[in-house]
Structure 1
Amino acid sequence: MAGDFVDHVILHVKAGDGGHGCASVHREKFKPLGGPDGGNGGRGGNVVLEVDANTATLLAFHRRPHQRAGNGKQGMGSNRDGANGEDVLLQVPSGTVVKDADTGEVLVDLVGNGTRYVIAQGGHGGLGNAALASPKRKAPGFALLGEAGEARDVVLELKTVADVALVGFPNAGKSSLIAALSSARPKIADYPFTTLVPNLGVVTAGDVVYTMADVPGLIPGASEGRGLGHEFLRHVERCSTIVHVLDCATFEPGRDPLSDFETIEAELKAYGELHDRPRLAVLNKIDVPDARDLAELVRSSLEDKGVRVFEISAASHEGLRELSFAVAEMVAAARAATPVEEPTRLVIRPKQLGDTGFSVRRVGDNVFQVTGEKPQRWIKQTDFANDEAVGYLADRLNRLGIEEALAAAGAVAGAEVVIGSMEDGYVFDWQPTLNAEVRPGPRGTDNRFS
């Protein structure tokens, strides 16, 4: 039923958090110093979108807009790693466009059965103390915390994937035409806006098989969002061929096939250069005597615009065979002119960190900000209640070269250094040896670790 078709949703997704690493010492009779044996935490589950040929609507996400993957489990003793969190696989129709809800940026255009995209990545599991052991720290008494999974809001928009789009005013006979040409059985009635969702039909004409979309009726101002304009027009974007269905039996004042054609053409052009697609015009309802006379009257005017014209009756099926083969010819030509696409391959690129993986800048009087993927990740992996873990963090930051970079930027002993954002980053009082007192949280709080 029409009310079950949804082609626009906002989806709130949260990937799973990584499990914490385990700090454990192997204990066995007669072996009091068995060494560290804490396992790593499991990876958090991903949230994955996958194109499914049997899915035709975004209804499932309209009903359940919040989707969350499973968290990784904590590592255990005896070198047992925690289990990975379960991925969440969300099935979407082919033709689904994914946008960032905050910026409107198009993240991916999902076309083709089986195409996948990881919309939110699970957090890495923390290392256990067995993995952290080194000649310097033979028996670490700490482990790393798991990382939080990504959380984001995205917009899913469905654009119908079809070869041919039937466009025209409400009640022009598009639903009747697609029903007559294919096995589709859309809702048909004698009043405007019967069709509130796109209907798809498969048409066979000789050796050519193509899909036809019955796009809901357009009205003047649709390209500016009037009525349901934007919702309707985006279903035309993927079609290679446009068929104008013109009502020759309308009794509406101020309307006739020529003015209807020009109005729809203007809306297609205003929406985004859709007027450049190959098209033809169909003069429908010629089973009505007055309509046949009107069709013969306006045909030459349409042909003067360079448009092929067919007089048909969706009710009596007159002219449908010629129309179906003409459309098949146009579809075949469009397919031949389109280069063969390589299979979709989606690669999530790592963030560009630069040569050192961080940057340092002065933001105030003896106040400096450090940003970068590595130091910000390391901060989040650190258990600040464990002094040994804090010392390990200091060593990592030192090896990365932050101490030298701070000195080069003009920092002196006692400088306030913020790692991350200035609003909620982690702050430490820097000393040249990097034996700093670190405190998490917003700048200005007074909860330093001693």
Structure 2
Amino acid sequence: TMALTRPQNCAKLGLGGIWGRARVPRYGSRALFLIRNQSTSSDKAKSTKNFKEKLRFFDRAFLRFRAGKGGDGHKSFISDRFGNKLADGERGGDGGNIVLRACKKIMNLRFDSYHIIGSNGENGGSNHKRGRKANDTTILVPVGTVAKTVERCLITKQRKIHQVLADLDEDGATFVAAQGGEGGLGNTSFRRGFRRRPDFRVDGHPGEQIEVFLELKSLAD
């Protein structure tokens, strides 16, 4: 039996096989310690930065809302007992709203994302099956938050704050900041008199898009 040779010796001798293709590291234990220590210090710096970011107090914020799109209407037909085709496509569900809700447990206007998109409504179906309405997206804000409209200049991109939309001064107070789009009509909605099989439908309407400025009432003007 032939004894196996260590990978370092095989690499030095130029032997083939799995052991021969192994590379020998050219840095010592001191270099490995420095590299490991440098990576550990960078990870600690990142974690410390994230922790300090979470502790920051935000008393104002700009949020962009886009409510959910309404579901599309459906076009389909069904035959009656006499063989006549009748429209049975139903309308789509409404898109979800974006709602601001005051909560006494929230003390900061810090959000994970400052661009909120609502849920879309379900499309209509055949056999008079109407699409379901999407759930509303609720944004929790501190008690005493004031919501104001924002107008952005297309040329200079500067924001201009306008009138007050809502004053959430009580726990549980809500305000619909962006309205969801209405669901599109199916071909059943266009069936009138002798027009029993209309061959068209309507797509769902897009949701409302708005930019809102939030500010704590205690620090507001």
Please classify the TM superposition score into its range, dividing by the shorter chain length: 0.5 to 0.7
CA distance in 1 between counterparts of 2:125 and 2:217 reads 48
Q: Deviations over 1:398-447 (max 9, x none)?
A: xxxxxxxxxxxxxxxxxxxxxxxxxxxxxxxxxxxxxxxxxxxxxxxxxx
CA distance in 2, matches of 1:68, 1:43: 15
Q: How does 1:367-382 map to 2 (within 5 A)?
A: none
Shift of 1:34: 4.1
Matched, 1:157 2:209: no
2:76 counterpart of 1:18: no
Q: 1:158, CA displacement in angstroms?
A: 1.0
- Does 2:133 match 1:89? no
Aligned length in residues:
160
Task: Please give the alpha-carbon distance, in whole angstroms, between the structure 1 residues aligned to 2:194 and 2:201.
Answer: 15
1:32–1:11 Cα change, 3 Å: same
**1:155 partner SS:** strand
- Pick the aligned partner of 1:40 from 91, 105, 120: 91
Q: TM-score under structure 1 normalisation?
A: 0.34
After TM superposition, give the deviation of residue 23 of structure 1 in Å: 1.1
Residue 77 and residue 31 in structure 1: after superposition, are their counterparts in 2 closer, same or farther (change >3 A)?
A: farther
3-state SS, counterpart of residue 87 of structure 2: coil
Contact 2:67–2:98 (8 Å) recurs in 1: yes
Using the TM superposition, name which of 133-142 and 14-23 deviates more: 133-142
Q: What SS class does the counterpart of residue 165 from structure 2 fall into?
A: strand
Moved more, 131-140 or 38-47: 131-140
Name the counterpart of 1:73: 122
One-letter amino acid of the counterpart of residue 66, structure 2: K
Alignment RMSD: 1.9
Shift in CA distance, 5/31, structure 1 to aligned 2, threshold 3 Å: farther
Aligned to 1:49: 100
Q: Which residue type is aligned with residue 134 of structure 2?
A: G
Per the alignment, residue 134 of structure 1 pairs with 192
Q: Are residues 1:148 and 2:206 paired?
A: yes
* Percentage identity across paired residues of the two chains: 36
What residue ranges of structure 1 are gaps of 5+ in the alignment?
Answer: 161-233, 238-450
Spell out structure 1 runs of 4+ moving beyond 4 A. none
Distance in 1 (alpha carbons) for counterparts of 2:183 and 2:206: 9
TM-score by length of 2: 0.68
What amino acid maps onto 2:169 in structure 1? V
Aligned twin of 2:109: 58
Partner of 1:177: none
After superposition, the Cα gap between the structure-2 partners of 1:31 and 1:67, relative to the gap in structure 1 and judged at 3 Å, is: farther
* 1:54 counterpart letter in structure 2: K
Matched letter for residue 81 of structure 1 = R
Which runs of no fewer than 5 residues in structure 2 stay unpaired?
Answer: 1-51, 152-160
* C-alpha distance after superposition, 1:84-128 (max 9, x if no partner): 122100111111111111152211111101111000000110111
Which has a greater percent of strand?
A: 2
Q: Is the 8 A contact 2:79 2:85 kept in 1?
A: yes
The Cα of 1:31 is off from its aligned counterpart by 4.9
The amino acid of 1:21's aligned partner reads G
Q: Is the 8 A contact 2:69 2:119 kept in 1?
A: yes
CA shift, 1:27, in A, is 4.1
